[in-house]
Structure 1
């Protein structure tokens, strides 16, 4: 594998981890979004990654899946969206799970960024040797 190959593979990892971070951010931002019981709740996002085919290596986003639209009912009679029984619908998002996902996605992004940085330093060192 060449230095540029390492940068290419790490850049695919950066892209996947960024999309994962975007999905987790959406989930966290909408965890407390109330809707009426007649509407669908916010559907949390799940990023599915897969290995890239071919000789180049790397990873790509295969698809983004959506969670259940059923949500959970909460008794809030003072909420303007409440139905006649006083219930509103919230997404069924587990905050601790989302925070764990956030940490994993951040660490993966950082690791891939470090690979790009090290490959760049190696390439610059090789150029310096060639100038000597």
Structure 2
């Protein structure tokens, strides 16, 4: 396989991984006020194909096992005798930071994909002459 194909494969895998990461961040933000919701995150795993090209793939979805926030609201239907119920463990500041990082990584890989595609097209144009 050519180096152009390898670079396209590497950036495509990174694009898929960052898109998955952004999806989980969006789910976390949308469920930040859901009682009992645990933050989701994904790990990154490497995959080496028979040609020796190593790409990144999204790993399994993990649940954040940190303690759930205790919310005081005696009128809530889930409240116990003390008036507390389990909120979510989503921290919006962390989610916003994760979203920015994933977005920037996605954009960088998209530029790499586009550059590889342009270089491949330019090479084909040179070979035609």
The TM-score normalised by the length of structure 1 is: 0.85
2:41 corresponds, among 39, 42, 46, to 46
SS at match of 2:82: coil
1:68-101 deviation digits (Å, cap 9, x = unpaired): 2751211112334333432222111211111111
Checking the alignment, whether the CA contact within 8 Å between 1:72 and 1:91 is kept in structure 2 is yes
Is 1:42–1:69's contact at 8 Å kept on the other side of the alignment?
Answer: no
Equivalences for residues 42-121 of structure 1 within 5 A? 42-54=37-49, 55-68=52-65, 70-121=67-118
* Superposed CA RMSD: 1.7
TM-score between the two structures when normalised by the length of structure 2: 0.87
Distance between the aligned counterparts of 1:43 and 1:69, measured in 2? 8
Aligned length: 126
Equivalent-residue separation in structure 2 for 1:69 and 1:50 (angstroms): 23
CA contact (8 A) 1:69 1:91 kept: no
Q: Which residue of 2 aligns with 1:18?
A: 19
CA distance in 2, matches of 1:84, 1:115: 57
